[in-house]
Chain A
Amino acid sequence: MTARRLDHVLLLVGFLALWQLLHWAVGPDVVASPAATIVRAGALLGTPAFWGHINATLTAFALASVISIVGGIALGLWLGLRRFAGDVADPILGTLYSIPKITLYPIILLMFGLGVSAKIAFGVIHGIFPIAIFAMNAVRNVAPVFRRTARVMRLSPLATAATVMAPAALPEILAGIRVGVALTLLGTLIGELFAATSGLGFVLIRAMDVHAVVDILAITLLLFCFAACVNASLRLVERWARHGG
């Protein structure tokens, strides 16, 4: 086993040990034991009804991600390529990104009512801004020498954008997508907490209502593992786009 693998295993063992200690310290009403949590997670994964909720969440998450990515990149690229518009929009985007989206939840609920569209809206308002900001900066930060090279080669503006600017900006755009997708998942789940009748967020709020500690921890653990996998995959894609650069 490589040293790195070993470190991962040690980390996992250490984490489980801390968890167990915490459980002994504060009791099962606050923190369920790792064993109980993992068993419950396994049981839930064996329940068809639970998979129905997973589907609801994943569908909403996927849709919200697509909207965030397409919208965010389109906006970011446009603002990145047009210097003046980008300069005007930069602080506005930054402010919108830093606003706690929590302040917009009541407004979203009023606009979209309860249901799937509210969930997706929550997801989108979380994800679209970082993706747009990263995309805009990715284009603006493309080394000027690349654009000059394209001009000396007499490339048309379209060819320059497609064959030079786009691949040059791609790594940073992907970094933005990675951040944005994580936040989109968060937004979708929060939407489900407040505005849904299905989905993992909904299951969580029900568990919170009846104080089912094990359920809360089990579902959170599953969500965390899912998020970690998505994040790791996107990191790999980002590394590929850099080609070591």
Chain B
Amino acid sequence: MAASGQISLRGVTKVFPGHDGHPDVHALGPVDLDIAAGEFFSVVGPSGCGKSTLLDILSGLSIATAGTATFDDKPLAGEVPDGIGAVFQQDASFFWLNVWDNVAFGLRRRGVGAPEVARRVDQALAFMGLTGFARAYPAQLSGGMRQRVCIARTLVLEPKVLLLDEPFGALDQQTRLLMGDELLRIWRETGATVVLITHALDEAAMLSDRVAVMSARPGRFIDIVTTGWPRTRDSRIVSDARFGAVTARLWEKLREESLRAMGVAAPHQDQRQE
């Protein structure tokens, strides 16, 4: 039986065709990638480099223009496979449902029976510290709480792969750090593969088993850094002697890419427009 939550990309490229006279946009690739089952994998890169496009392909929301993407050895073909969960940067909590109904939403759509739904939702709410807010509506909650609702809604479906696209982008730094700890706890207790897209180097360095650095558009991997942290880590890993080295290495690669993305540094040799 194949490992659960394993993702592979071979030569994956994404080009968005231009319309009404605009040129095509070569957003991503080609990229090769193997994410092991149960790994905590992050991707960092300058704005607009194609990180979100990568996540769309990993989740099945988008089809690669070239190359193959497989999830547990089955090719991804434009349909989201069973076992994927995603949390986005924007608030996706449904404002017309209270917290409890939000979290129950996915289960109910799958036809899970009411007692089972109740059991799993209560459990997820307890896990995320939302039990006291079960009857509240998203509009009454802070941004961090709403993201927790989205995470709970995803977790309750027991995904094998958890994709997060800058989920803490709208939150302040302290909340981000605490949410990072929560994410690690979730990762440990569910055994899921986590793929985190973030622009925050320290976040990626502190949370992940491996961090991939993506180049400016079209996004390609220019480095993958292995952190080697123990599974039992939390945000206090920042005091580890090697944390500075990891972050420094990421920034070294990322700095030039960021300047490229801003148009200040020269483009890559093989990407110069003739």
Q: CA–CA, A146 to B82, complex, Å?
A: 19
CB-CB contacts of A138-164 with B at 8 A, as 1s and 0s? 000001111011011111000100011
Q: CA–CA, A164 to B95, complex, Å?
A: 10
Residue from the list A143, A148, A167, A243 in contact with B139, Cβ < 8 A: A243
Tell me whether chain B's interface is mostly helix, strand or loop, or mixed.
loop
Contact A167 B90 (CB under 8 A): no
Looking at A151, A154, A168, A170, the one whose CB has the most chain B CB atoms below 10 A away is A154
Q: CA–CA, A44 to B61, complex, Å?
A: 64
Write the nearest CB–CB distance from A165 to chain B, whole angstroms.
11
Residues of B within 8 A of A243 (CB): 95-96, 98, 137-139
Residues of A within 8 A of B105 (CB): 153, 163
Contact B96 A148 (CB under 8 A): no
Residues of B within 8 A of A91 (CB): none
Contact A152 B82 (CB under 8 A): no
Residues of B within 8 A of A146 (CB): 92, 94
CB-CB contacts of B217-246 with A at 8 A, as 1s and 0s? 000000000000000000000000000000
The total of Cβ contacts below 8 Å across the A-B interface reads: 61
Residue from the list A143, A144, A170, A244 in contact with B137, Cβ < 8 A: A244
A153 nearest in chain B by CB position: B106
19 A-B contacts (beta carbon < 8 Å): A145-B90, A146-B94, A148-B61, A148-B92, A149-B92, A151-B61, A152-B85, A153-B157, A154-B79, A155-B109, A163-B105, A163-B109, A170-B96, A242-B139, A243-B95, A243-B139, A244-B137, A244-B139, A245-B137
Q: Confirm or deny: B54 has a beta carbon within 8 angstroms of a beta carbon on chain A.
A: no
A170 nearest in chain B by CB position: B96
B82 nearest in chain A by CB position: A154
Q: Confirm or deny: B91 has a beta carbon within 8 angstroms of a beta carbon on chain A.
A: yes
Q: Confirm or deny: A81 has a beta carbon within 8 angstroms of a beta carbon on chain B.
A: no
Looking at A148, A151, A153, A159, the one whose CB has the most chain B CB atoms below 10 A away is A153
Residues of B within 8 A of A168 (CB): 94-96
Binding site for A on B (CB under 8 A): 59, 61, 79-80, 82, 84-86, 88, 90-92, 94-98, 105-106, 109, 137-140, 157
Q: CA–CA, A16 to B150, complex, Å?
A: 53
Contact A145 B88 (CB under 8 A): yes
Write the nearest CB–CB distance from B121 to chain A, whole angstroms.
15
Contact A245 B96 (CB under 8 A): yes
Interface size of A by Cβ–Cβ distance < 8 Å? 22
Residues of B within 8 A of A244 (CB): 95, 137, 139-140
Residues of A within 8 A of B59 (CB): 152
Q: CA–CA, A170 to B80, complex, Å?
A: 27
Q: Confirm or deny: A114 has a beta carbon within 8 angstroms of a beta carbon on chain B.
A: no
Residue from the list B61, B86, B94 in contact with A164, Cβ < 8 A: B94
Residues of B within 8 A of A167 (CB): 94, 96-97
Residues of B within 8 A of A108 (CB): none
Residues of B within 8 A of A154 (CB): 79-80, 82
Residues of A within 8 A of B90 (CB): 143-145
Write the nearest CB–CB distance from A161 to chain B, whole angstroms.
13
Q: Confirm or deny: A241 has a beta carbon within 8 angstroms of a beta carbon on chain B.
A: yes
Contact B95 A153 (CB under 8 A): no
Residues of B within 8 A of A241 (CB): 96
Known contacts A144-B90, A148-B92; can you find 10 more A-B pairs with CB under 8 A?
A: A143-B90, A145-B92, A151-B61, A152-B59, A153-B109, A154-B82, A168-B94, A168-B95, A241-B96, A245-B96
